[in-house]
């Protein structure tokens, strides 16, 4: 018998707000967690409009509020700083500099190390959760480009996976953190891939960095770029209702998808290129951890769920060469709003589209379930705090099964469930993971876990936490 992983993301602002022991009592005593992830950042309340709003805007239009009070409030402005003083010598080879320490670092930075020590004393694995492909003050030259060379409409300000500048910064950042926090179990890079919340994001990345990376590996980049540009243009003025009808049907457009690839055959090579880029970025992460000299540091990547990974590039089997685990995100509030984002761009650029056909085609493309929540784009909004997420249990199971199948036993699959939403709906989504054959689960994040949610997680997980 062995115990499956149950991890919870606990950002340092809640540790400061509630205290080290109180947080650990909740995640261990109530929920039964075996692992935690945090960020090397400390915070404090700030004046209106100063710093950043918490909880942060999500998918462009977030009505979210915390379930747990942060500094006594369910939403507020905060300022932040690193929890440690960065060592500049690590960044000699990077054009990017680390965030500077501030008065917050001096006043509160000690809490991160205290939390790590206390969590390890309680038998927990402790990870840092960081961006998988970005840097502070990121330059335009290190951002992705569309096949035509323009900047894409984006929801996530992520970097180019092939950028040498971003890679050198990440290597320096890892070395700096491990030197300061040598007891850390490992790292959880978020999005070592290309997010696809908006249509344009699905057509990343044709930057000079990617071109150079591809040509070095014998990829006919110019031909590939031309094919993908043709598909992009076809979706921006050449899309017809007959095209939508094929994808809106009962077979979810399987046959039409193959026809589309035959018409734009270079698209398949482009998808393979993105997959290779994502795997290579994970190789870079693995080497960065190994170069610290700390043996046994674990690498667990947060990713999109299938079938969206076809667009993002994340490759579960390929990741297994470098990662101990992958956490595909069961972020159901994102899946519905993606229909709205993609749909509005397609409606904007293609006259006469039938909105019902469009939403059904996109719901099939994103695999939201057998019955979409409505026939108009308005039905695919970001859920309110007390609104259930309209994604079927079947669709969520299908996605988890696909991730496990694609991983093929090469790495552990530990889906990442979001805590946002009403209690019953959150438990419905978490129960699907607890009752599945995955290797464990993570929950993002502590601020959305009321005491009632934590208690319910513990009851559910302890009931199925071991297996032969």
pLDDT (tens digit, 9 = 90+) per residue, 155-167? 889 999 999 999 9
Contact 315, 275 (CB under 8 A): yes
Write the DSSP assignment of 339-401 as a string of letters: HHHHHHHHHHHSTT--HHHHHHHHHHHTT--SS-S-SSGGGGPPPPTTS-----HHHHHHHHH
Question: pTM of the prediction?
Answer: 0.94
Q: What is the pLDDT of residue 72?
A: 92
Q: What is the pLDDT of residue 466?
A: 45
pLDDT tens readout for residues 301-348: 999 999 999 999 999 999 999 999 999 999 998 888 899 999 999 999
Domain hosting 175: range is 2-201+275-348+380-467
The residue among 65 and 27 whose pLDDT is bigger is 27
224: left (phi over 0), alpha (psi -120 to 50) or beta: alpha
Q: What is the mean pLDDT of the chain?
A: 92
Asked if the structure places residue 359 within a domain, the reply is no
Question: How does residue 59 score in pLDDT terms, banded at 50, 70 and 90?
Answer: low
Asked if the structure places residue 233 within a domain, the reply is no
Domain total of the chain: 1
CA 114 from chain centre, in angstroms, equals 27
Contact 339, 382 (CB under 8 A): no
Q: Which two tokens stand for residue 425?
A: 């709906």
Percentage of the chain exceeding pLDDT 70: 94
3-class secondary-structure state, position 35: strand
Question: How does residue 248 score in pLDDT terms, banded at 50, 70 and 90?
Answer: confident
How buried is residue 201: exposed, middle or buried, by Cβ count under 10 Å (0-12/13-18/19+)?
buried
Contact 158, 189 (CB under 8 A): no
Q: What is the pLDDT of residue 255?
A: 58
Question: How does residue 278 score in pLDDT terms, banded at 50, 70 and 90?
Answer: very high
CA distance 285 to 291: 10
Cα–Cα separations (whole angstroms), residue 225 to 40, 312, 348, 362: 39, 17, 24, 24
Question: Quick count: other Cβ atoms within 10 Å of Cβ 100?
Answer: 12
Asked if the structure places residue 375 within a domain, the reply is no
Asked if the structure places residue 234 within a domain, the reply is no
Lowest mean pLDDT among 200-209, 250-259, 297-306: 250-259
3-class secondary-structure state, position 4: coil
CA distance 345 to 200: 9
Q: What CATH number is associated with residue 179?
A: 3.20.20.80
- Mean pLDDT value across residues 359-368: 88
> Which residues fall within 8 angstroms of residue 405, CB to CB, at 6 or more apart?
none
Could you tell me the maximum CA-CA distance found in the chain, to the nearest angstrom?
Answer: 63
Question: How does residue 467 score in pLDDT terms, banded at 50, 70 and 90?
Answer: very low
Q: Is 80 exceeded by the pLDDT of residue 257? A: no
Enclosing H/E stretch for 95: none
Contact 96, 169 (CB under 8 A): yes
Task: Read off the DSSP letter of residue 284.
Answer: H
Nearest C-alpha neighbor of 331 from the set 406, 465, 206, 433: 433
Number of H helices, E strands in the chain: 17, 14
Asked if the structure places residue 209 within a domain, the reply is no
Contact 298, 127 (CB under 8 A): yes
Q: Which two tokens stand for residue 162?
A: 């092939």
Asked if the structure places residue 270 within a domain, the reply is no
CA distance 206 to 274: 10
Asked if the structure places residue 366 within a domain, the reply is no
Asked if the structure places residue 132 within a domain, the reply is yes
Q: Is 60 exceeded by the pLDDT of residue 465? A: no
């Amino acid at each position: 018998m062995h115990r499956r992983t149950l991890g919870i993301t606990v950002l340092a602002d809640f540790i400061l707000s509630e205290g080290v022991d109180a947080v650990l009592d909740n995640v261990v005593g109530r929920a039964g967690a075996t692992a935690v992830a945090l960020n090397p950042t400390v915070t404090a309340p700030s004046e209106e409009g100063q710093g950043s709003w918490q909880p942060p805007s999500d998918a462009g239009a977030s009505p979210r509020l915390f379930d747990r009070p942060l500094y006594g409030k369910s939403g507020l402005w905060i300022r932040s700083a690193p929890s440690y003083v960065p060592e500049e010598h690590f960044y000699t080879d990077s054009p990017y500099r680390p965030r500077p320490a501030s008065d917050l670092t001096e006043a509160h930075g000690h809490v991160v190390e205290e939390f790590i020590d206390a969590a390890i004393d309680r038998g927990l694995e402790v990870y840092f959760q960081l961006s998988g492909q970005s840097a502070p003050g990121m330059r335009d030259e290190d951002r992705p480009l569309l096949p035509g060379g323009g900047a894409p409409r984006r929801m996530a300000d992520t970097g180019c996976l092939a950028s040498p500048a971003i890679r050198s910064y990440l290597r320096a950042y890892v070395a700096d953190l491990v030197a300061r926090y040598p007891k850390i179990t490992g790292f959880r890079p978020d999005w070592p891939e290309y997010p696809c919340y908006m249509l344009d994001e699905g057509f990343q990345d044709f930057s000079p960095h990617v071109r150079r990376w591809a040509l070095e590996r014998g990829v006919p980049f110019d031909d590939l770029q031309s094919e993908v540009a043709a598909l992009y243009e076809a979706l921006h003025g050449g899309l017809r209702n007959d095209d939508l009808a094929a994808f809106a049907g009962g077979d979810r457009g399987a046959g039409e998808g193959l026809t589309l690839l035959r018409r734009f055959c270079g698209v398949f090579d482009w998808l393979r290129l993105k997959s290779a880029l994502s795997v290579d970025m994970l190789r870079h992460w693995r080497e960065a951890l190994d170069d610290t000299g700390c043996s046994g540091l674990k690498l667990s990547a947060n990713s999109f769920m299938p079938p969206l990974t076809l667009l993002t590039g994340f490759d579960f089997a390929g990741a297994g060469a470098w990662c101990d685990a992958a956490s595909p995100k069961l972020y159901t509030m994102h899946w519905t709003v993606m229909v709205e984002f993609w749909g509005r761009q397609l409606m904007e650029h293609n006259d006469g589209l039938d909105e019902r056909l469009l939403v059904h085609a996109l719901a099939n493309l994103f695999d939201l379930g057998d019955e979409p929540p409505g026939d108009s784009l308005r039905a695919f909004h970001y859920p309110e705090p007390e609104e259930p997420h309209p994604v079927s249990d079947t669709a969520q199971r299908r996605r988890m099964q696909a991730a496990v199948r694609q991983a093929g036993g090469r790495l552990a699959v530990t889906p990442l469930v979001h805590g946002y939403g009403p209690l019953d709906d959150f438990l419905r989504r978490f129960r699907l993971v607890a009752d599945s054959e995955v290797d464990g689960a993570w929950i993002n994040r502590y601020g959305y876990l009321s005491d009632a949610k934590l208690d319910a997680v513990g009851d559910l997980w302890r009931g199925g936490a071991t297996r032969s």
